[in-house]
Structure 1
Amino acid sequence: MILAAKRPLIMVGGAASRLDQHPNAQIRDLVQRTRIPFFTTQMGKGVVAEDSDLYMGTAALSEGDHVHEAVDKADWIIAVGHDTCEKPPFIMSEGGPKVIHIAHQPATFTQAYWPQLEVIGEIGASVAALADRLEGKLLNAGALLPLREEILALIGEGADDKSWPVTLDHVVHVVGKVMPEGSIVTLDNGLYKIPFARKYRTNHPNTLLLDNTLATMGAGVPSAIVAAMLNPGHRVMAVCGDGGFQMTGQELMTAVEQKLNLVVLILDNGGWGMIEAKQTAKGFPNYGVNFLNPDFVKLAEACGAKGTRVETLDDPVPALKAALKGGGVHVVAVPVDDSKYKRLLGGLRSPKAKPPSA
């Protein structure tokens, strides 16, 4: 099936990120030896380095995202390690791309995902065997690569935005600029998860930790605490919305007690941005989406941590660099403008998938 494909595309899913290092290397080897371009789900980021010349982007949405320029034109998608507990990275439909599912477990068939073929077993062994059989034989391996430049240009938009408050696109650019190679970023859940999935280049497994299944709010700080405890030699940053932080922000005390090196970046918009956008998408009036915040600097200091509030566009980079260099637990609060992503989600409607008839 892959040999006959005219426009093949590899998708790396969340289950692949849970493998040990050896199968991760085999998945990277499959991409390099076949020269088939790849994209990732949100939770599959980093399994294959995203500085690769074959990277086509990450599916931050189920449809209409930048990467779907390639997804919609593919005739076969080779889904490696996709776990259907994750939000669908694309919606299958009759006449759309066909799918080969390579995983430890059979796929859970849904209206969004019903692969034509399943290869079930140890993922590393499966992809290694595929690479052996496909290397040098795929005349159409790079058929979708001409789309890459335009997709990456769209992904890069907004990095140098000079507006104030700071845009979410610019926040991703700043975090990517200050975090060393191999450092760990944990996300809470909110609108900022979309630009981080799209734009934050991840070259190592499990270095951008985000929840794209239950999408549990309040997960950012506890995830970062455990990451810092397990990886004392790595820089760790939690990126949280103000609402998500207020759910579990008291765990700053735990981080201080454990003498961790941890930076918590709070994106302050004074409301539930994603909930507001979803209310708009459903045609509902906005209700209960705004709230008051405490003084995050004083809150951090009350917990025995350090605190900084960003006041101008020139401040985020030096503030985060100083927090990372200073060690200990440091909270950095920055006002953000999330209007772009409110408009994006507010304009979405439920996809109309058509599974094959019985």
Structure 2
Amino acid sequence: MGNTAAVVAEYVRATGVRFVFAYPGDPIIELMEALRAAGVEVVPGSREGTAVFMAEAQAMVTGRPGVCLSTLGPGSTSIVNGVAAATWDRVPLLAISGQIDAGREDLVTHQVVDHKLLFSPVAKWAGRIDPRSVDAVLRKALRLAVAERPGAVHLTGSAETFAAPAPDTEVAPPPLDGASGGVRVHLAPGAPDPAALLRAARRPLLLAGAAATRCGASGSLIRLAEAVCAPVVVAPMAKGVFPEDHPLFAGVLDMACNQVLWDFLAGSDLVVAAGFDPVELIKPWSLRTPVLHVDTTPNTDQVYPSDCELVGDVSTGLDWLADGWRGEPRWSEADVAAHRARLRTAYYAGRVVGRLNPTDVIDTVRAGAPPGTVVTCDVGSHKLLVGQGWQTREPRGVLMSNGLSSMGFGLPGAIGAGLTLGEVPVVALIGDGGFAMAATDLRLAVSRRLPLAVVVFCDGSLNRIELKQRALGYRSTATRLDEVDQVALAGSMGCDGVRVTSVAELEKAMAGLASRTGPLLIEARIEPAQYEAQF
């Protein structure tokens, strides 16, 4: 096999990873060379903090671990946010950081950070690569990353470690699926079984979350919803797990119009929580409605009480409920249509006639994007509207950080998704604050000739915080952004750019997206008044 770096590289390659995202440094030179030799391309981000977001997006679209590398000291501290994002977004990630040689680690202070202490609070495991145990360590790291609930693992290795000979071993990656195929029933004393609980409900509702996506539960969700005639609400990171053009689709929780959604949930008499993860809740769970918990993990969060749990593969659990269903339809499609009409009215509230509103941008980009387009969305006021208003029919079609909700994800996420998906069109929807955090990664998109559309919602504000300041009667302090000519900035990196102030201009900019051979930045000068009406 050769040295330790070669073993690590072979494990990475065996997972199906074609790209590792990195910012180089001395201790990882040997590992980068081993990856190159193994046929895995090392892609440099503009900094460590964006490279890790590229790896997170890679994992979001594949369901397999994304991989990122950093050097020691400031390189390792720079990926902490992305490692935490992967853990709270429930995305499998393998992060590897270089370190000083183990024999000097306790004596030298220059650029030395204790990685065990640094990453343990934000990763599922923080381990160390050693030539004698590299095989077991990589198997453990990969298995932990994908095990329910998925997240990041961090490994440390020195230049000395990576160059050291490793024992001959057969590279055998562990299973890279999360949930098992079966389900177990957990009941509180005296509680009815799940099938009886569902049959007794007059107005049941399904609430689908990210674990439903991980379990490939779309078909099972549709089958149960249609059997019972029950509406389906989804969490933001599960967008597309239930087709949003289906008559029973009822909206996205805790995005724009959230009070409409919560009122709708409050009108049900049973919530079937299908892979719903409370990490996505923005508002506290305040429903008194009984909950039937169907998830890959027991209801250990206890954000909502549930006397009845189906624990295991979400798809299997939903199929089991559908198999046992006996009864008449519980809702009419007219009931759900009336709710959707209320939701639509609330979504468009606050539009300013004759100006480019945030919902205008979303609708126009959606209409102009080729079929099958994957969207990455950054954090900010626009995310809440994108989460509710961008219609998608397929899982993994909208990528966002909504566990940690970390700004700066949108552009590097689009690059990671674009490289991983190849010919699939990708659109990034980003606020001007989030764009400022990662703008120079445009150069990477240009050099790789990625046909991305990078749409920047420009209002010169960190709007979510400014609105909260205003609600408290405070002045806008540190929430106004300096003017930036983003078209000129894009041009300086060889990226095409266009400024739009109207729907007609945006339609023209989107017209040639399907035939592009490189990225396009669209600086959309929006009227932010709609945000205030929404939130």
- For normalisation by structure 2, the TM-score amounts to 0.59
Change beyond 3 A, Cα 1:283–1:269: same
Task: Confirm whether residue 80 of structure 1 aligns to residue 270 of structure 2.
Answer: no
Report whether the alignment pairs 1:149 with 2:341: no
Contact 1:191-1:342 within 8 A present in 2 as well: no
User: Quick one: distance in 2 between partners of 1:320 and 1:25?
Assistant: 33
1:129 paired residue among 320, 342, 345: 320
- Matched residues in 2 for 1:115 and 1:213: separation? 22
Equivalents in 2 of 1:88, 1:273: separation in Å? 17
Is 2:204 the counterpart of 1:14? no
- How far the C-alpha of 1:108 sits from its partner, in A, is 3.8
Q: Deviations over 1:51-95 (max 9, x none)?
A: 1111111123498522233211001000101112112577234xx
Q: Is the CA contact 2:351–2:529 (under 8 Å) kept in the aligned structure 1?
A: no
User: 1:342 deviation in Å?
Assistant: 2.6
Question: Which structure 1 residue ranges, 5 or more long, are not aligned?
Answer: 346-358
Shift of 1:145: 5.1
2:106 is matched with none
CA distance in 1, matches of 2:283, 2:309: 18
- Is 1:70 the counterpart of 2:264 in the alignment? yes
Distance 1:335 1:211, change over 3 A: same
- For the 8 Å contact 2:370–2:514, the answer to whether it is kept is no
- Displacement of 1:231 after TM fit? 1.2
Give the match for residue 233 of structure 2: 39
Paired position in structure 2 for 1:58: 252
Larger helix percent: 2
Distance (whole Å) between structure 2 residues aligned to residue 300 and residue 266 of structure 1: 12
Cα pair distance change 1:269/1:66, threshold 3 Å: same
Paired AA for residue 364 in structure 2: V
Task: Please say if residues 280 and 286 of structure 1, whose CA atoms lie closer than 8 Å, have aligned partners that are also in contact.
Answer: yes
Counterpart in the other structure of 1:303? 493
Aligned residue for 2:437? 247
* Alpha-carbon shift at residue 158 of structure 1 (Å): 3.1
1:67 partner SS: helix
2:219 — aligned with what? 25
Residue 104 (str. 1) matches residue 296 (str. 2): yes
Secondary structure of the 1:48 match is coil
1:216 and 2:406 correspond = yes
> Which range moves more in the overlay, 30-39 or 326-335?
30-39
1:322 alignment partner in structure 2: 512
Distance 1:13 1:88, change over 3 A: farther
Given that 2:256 and 2:534 are in contact with CA atoms closer than 8 Å, whether structure 1 keeps it comes out as no
Q: Distance in 2 between matches of 1:317 and 1:192?
A: 19
Letter of the aligned partner of 1:141 in structure 2?
A: R
The 5-angstrom pairing of residues 273-292 of structure 1 reads 273-282=463-472, 284-292=474-482
1:256 matched to 2:446? The reply is yes
Residue 393 (structure 2) pairs with residue 199 (structure 1) = no
Give the 3-state SS of the residue equivalent to 1:186 in structure 2. Answer: strand
**Greater RCO (CA < 8 Å, at least 6 residues apart):** 1
Residues 189, 282 of structure 1: CA spacing in aligned structure 2 closer, same or farther, 3 A cutoff?
Answer: same
CA distance in 2, matches of 1:175, 1:138: 42
Alpha-carbon distance change, 150 to 102 in structure 1, aligned in 2, over 3 angstroms: closer
Distance change in 2, residues 1:272/1:325 (3 Å): same
CA distances 1:161-217 after superposition (whole Å, capped 9, x unpaired): 673441112112112211233211110111011111222111000111122211110
Q: Structure 1's 13 and 195: CA in aligned 2 closer, same or farther, altered over 3 A?
A: same
Cα RMSD over matched residues?
2.4
Residue in 2 aligned with 1:354? none
Aligned residues: 338
- Offset, 1:150: 4.0
Task: State the distance in 1 between where 2:221 and 2:502 align.
Answer: 43
Whether the 8 Å contact between 1:256 and 1:329 is mirrored in structure 2 is yes
C-alpha distance 24-48 of structure 1, shift in aligned 2 (>3 A): same
Q: 1:73 to 1:312 in 2, by over 3 A?
A: closer
Residues 1:171 and 2:365 are matched in the alignment = no
Do 2:264 and 2:339's aligned partners in 1 also have CA atoms closer than 8 Å?
no
Rg (Cα) greater in structure: 2
What code does the residue aligned with 2:239 have? K
After TM superposition, give the deviation of residue 285 of structure 1 in Å: 3.6
Checking the alignment, whether the CA contact within 8 Å between 1:162 and 1:313 is kept in structure 2 is: no
Please give the per-residue CA displacement for 1:9-29, whole angstroms capped at 9, x wherever unaligned: 00111222233x4x3322232
Instruction: Give the conservation status (yes or no) of the 8 Å contact 1:78–1:101.
Output: yes
Q: Contact 1:59–1:65 at 8 Å: present in 2 too? A: no
Please state how far the C-alpha of 1:143 moved relative to its aligned partner: 5.7
SS in 2 for 1:192: helix
**What TM-score do the two structures reach when normalised by structure 1?**
0.87
CA separation in 1, counterparts of 2:463 and 2:495?
A: 27
Residue 122 of structure 1: how far off its partner (Å): 1.2
